[in-house]
Amino acid sequence: MKRNALIVTAILLLLAALLAAASVSVLRPRSMLREGPGSYYPILTRVDEGAECQVLETTVGWYRVSWRDTIGWLPLRATQPLVGSAGLRTPRNDSLSVRITRHGMSAGAKGFAAGIARRFEGDIGVAEFLLRPIVEPTDFKAFRKASRRRYDIDSSRKPRLPEFEGSDWFSDREEITGVALASGVVAEYGLWPNATWTRYVNNVCHLVAENTDVFDVPFRVFILDIPQANAYAFPGGLILVTRGMLQSIHNEAELACVLAHEMAHVARKHGMLELQERAHHIGAEGAFAELDDEFGGFDESTSIIEQDLEDEIFKMYEYLVQGRLDDYEKEADQLACIYVLRTGYDPSVFLDLLIRLQERQSNNDHYRPELTRMRITWLRQTLRQLPERGVRNPQRWRDTGHI
């Protein structure tokens, strides 16, 4: 008995030694070290591209690592070769990480986004507000636990995610673009200041996000206070859903489908394609380093880049907000069904929701009647290929309160 215990101890010590000896290289810019294994955890610092991190522990999609005397969680994606391009790269800069704010955007870039938002008549404080953390890790873990034990949301069935050959890297530039555009929409329509519902939709969002190929994107969902049924996704992970859309929804699975559809737009970079085509017009890799000047100063080169980015983002506004290409909607619907099924929800409810939305007024082309009819046809085809079903969970939806 004693001998067996010694053998087990020796094996454990050997495994610990092997794990301690393991290290990973960070192969991507803008890699964040977080307090826990999830995009809803606070950011500790940004890890330099090319850095070597000592691996302490692993879990699905994440490494617990030590880097420069800081211990935190690094997404697996950060250690994989970069696929595609996502626009203006943040340069390597060892001093940059000390100026990264808690939401991950550098101080200069955050101020730049607020400046662009002014062109869309947004309040200068909107950018900061939209970047603030919404999900509390402890609250979300309790929500996830209840989802599994009380509401039978089973995420153990994992249909494969489709292969994607496009860019899977998310840049500062994307987040700047998203914050600027979302600021304009929020300034135009206003937010519904209901903390309970905002917390609930964000918890559902992160429950789904954990089962997607963009699990490390820091999604944040806000509710627009308008009666029209709609939802918007912006580069970088900002999602706006209208109060009218929530009033159209009958259960938690339908909410998950709406959010998964918007996450799919982010995952497939539908909001950045037009800007990427114009990327050659904007250069100077040192732009964000100069924008990070502690005194907020701008020289001639950064002013030119600022103007170029503002011009391109302004051109994108109506394209993103007023309606995307129909092919993008089809791809987002198909991917959303896979996302929600991987989470444990019933994707067939998305069809029920779209049928009801044919009768509701929308404030743009996302849910125009002819497109909605096309989407219903596409969804029926997609659902025939996904015979498994999950739960709908109307109870927790009703328990959240009046909309």
- Where in the sequence is the domain holding 361, given as residue range(s)? 107-275+317-399
90 assigned to some structural domain: no
Instruction: Looking at the structure, tell me whether residues 40 and 119 fall in a common domain.
Output: no
In a domain, 334, yes or no: yes
Under a CB-based contact definition with an 8 Å cutoff, are residues 76 and 44 in contact? no
d(CA 226, CA 361): 11
pLDDT at 44: 95
Q: Quote the CA–CA distance of 239 and 109 in Å, as a whole number.
A: 20
- What is the average per-residue pLDDT within 115-128? 60
DSSP string, 54-81: EEEEEETTEEEEEETTEEEEEEGGGGSP
**% of the chain with per-residue pLDDT over 90:** 48
Residue 226 has pLDDT above 80, yes or no: yes
pLDDT band at 280 (very low <50, low <70, confident <90, very high): very low
Same domain, residue pair 75 and 134: no
Q: How far apart are CA 339 and CA 215, in angstroms?
A: 11
Estimate the crossing angle of helix 172-189 against helix 300-322, to 10 degrees: 60
Residue 89 one-letter amino acid: R
Q: For the segment 16-46, what is each residue's pLDDT rounded down to a tens digit? A: 555 555 899 999 988 999 999 999 999 999 9
Q: What is the pLDDT of residue 369?
A: 77
pLDDT on residue 124: 54
Q: Determine the pLDDT at residue 249.
A: 97
Contacting residues for 210 by C-beta, under 8 A, at least 6 apart: 38, 155, 343
In degrees and rounded to multiples of 5, residue 352 shows phi and psi of -60, -45
pLDDT of residue 212 exceeding 80, the answer is yes
124 and 72 fall within a common domain: no
> What pLDDT digit, counting tens, does each position of 284-314 carry?
333 434 444 433 444 444 455 555 555 555 5
- Mean pLDDT estimate for the chain: 79
Looking at the domain assignment, is residue 288 inside a domain?
no
Q: Tell whether 52 and 114 lie within a shared domain.
A: no
Instruction: Name which residue leads in pLDDT, 132 or 284.
Output: 132
Tell me which amino acid residue 224 is: L
- pLDDT tens for each residue of 348-400: 999 999 999 987 666 555 667 788 888 999 999 999 998 778 999 999 999 99
Tell me what the mean pLDDT of segment 114-121 comes to. Answer: 57
pLDDT of residue 278: 44
Q: Give me the mean pLDDT over the 123-147 stretch.
A: 86
Q: Are residues 168 and 249 both part of a single domain?
A: yes
CATH number of the domain bearing residue 7? 2.30.30.40
Judge if 123 and 257 occupy the same domain: yes
Q: Write down the pLDDT at residue 388.
A: 78
In a domain, 350, yes or no: yes
Same domain, 202 and 328: yes
In this structure, the answer to whether residues 8 and 72 fall within a common structural domain is yes
Q: Residues 253, 336: one domain?
A: yes
Q: Please tell me the distance from the alpha carbon of residue 266 to that of residue 105, in angstroms, as a whole number.
A: 18
In a domain, 88, yes or no: no
Do 63 and 137 lie in a common domain?
Answer: no
Q: How far apart are CA 251 and CA 241, in angstroms?
A: 15
- The whole-number pLDDT of residue 165 equals 79
Q: What DSSP character marks residue 89?
A: P
Is 23 among the domain residues?
yes
**Pair (207, 78) in one structural domain:** no
CB 204 within 8 Å of CB 396: no
Asked if the model's pLDDT at residue 191 lies above 90, the reply is yes
**CA–CA distance from 232 to each of 147, 317, 357 (Å)?**
26, 12, 16
Q: What is the mean pLDDT of residues 190-209?
A: 96
Residue 299 lies in a domain: no
Residue reference for tokens 């506004």: 317
Whether residue 41 sits in one domain with residue 128: no
Whether 127 is in a domain gets the answer yes
Confirm if 44 and 52 have CB atoms less than 8 A apart.
no
How many domains is the chain partitioned into structurally? 2
Lowest mean pLDDT among 118-127, 170-179, 203-212: 118-127
Mean pLDDT to the nearest integer, 217-239: 93
Measure the CA–CA gap between 312 and 281, rounded to whole angstroms: 9
pLDDT value at position 31? 93
- Whether 6 shows a pLDDT value over 80: the answer reads no
Residue 12 pLDDT exceeds 70: no
- For residue range 335-345, list pLDDT tens digits in order: 999 999 999 99
